[in-house]
């Protein structure tokens, strides 16, 4: 029986940096977070009058995003192998990623990213690997 999807679930695509991601990671993917609402702010307080404390007054200074997703490692998974190879390359190899809502097809995140991964133990059959993506414009595309 097919898995019933809900509106907040995402599909993850990847591909060569500098172009729109087109390869769907269709197997072994678990938790997906497109990394929204992570903007950074700066506080610009004014000097108090000695009687009352000034109010906090913040302004947005940078749009930020750190998309994440996890995959279960299985021998022979070509998507996992490609992502691990890009993350381990020296110098690093950026990849294009696109996060699309399963229900409705809206794009939540699209751009080029550097890849960092972590695993709670040695990467082996059945182990979960978490991928954390860091935006880059090094390949000519800004992220959205």
Is 4 inside any structural domain? no
**Residues contacting 91, CB < 8 A, separation 6+:** none
- The DSSP output letter for 48 is -
| Calpha distance 127→144 (Å, rounded) | 31
Is 24 inside any structural domain? yes
Is 124 inside any structural domain? yes
- The DSSP output letter for 6 is -
Residue 48: is its pLDDT beyond 90? Answer: no
Q: What is the pLDDT of residues 59-110, one digit of tens each?
A: 899 888 899 999 999 999 999 999 999 999 999 999 999 999 988 889 999 9
Query: Taking the chain, what is the end-to-end CA distance rounded to the nearest angstrom?
Result: 35
* Domain total of the chain: 1
Is 6 inside any structural domain? no
Mean pLDDT for the chain overall: 89
Per the structure, the complete domain to which residue 113 belongs is given by 16-41+61-135
């Amino acid at each position: 029986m097919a898995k019933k999807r809900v509106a907040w679930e995402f599909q993850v695509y990847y591909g060569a940096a500098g172009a729109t991601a087109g390869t769907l990671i269709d197997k072994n993917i678990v938790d997906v977070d497109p990394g929204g609402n992570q903007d950074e702010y700066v506080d610009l307080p004014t000097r108090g009058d000695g009687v009352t404390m000034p109010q906090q007054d913040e302004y947005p200074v940078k749009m930020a995003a750190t998309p994440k997703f996890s995959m279960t490692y299985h021998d022979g998974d070509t998507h996992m192998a490609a992502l691990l190879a890009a993350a381990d390359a020296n110098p690093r190899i950026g990849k294009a990623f696109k996060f699309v809502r399963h229900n409705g097809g809206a794009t939540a995140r699209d751009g080029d990213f550097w890849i960092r991964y972590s695993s709670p133990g040695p990467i082996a059959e059945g182990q979960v690997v978490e991928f954390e993506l860091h935006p880059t414009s090094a390949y000519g595309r800004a992220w959205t």
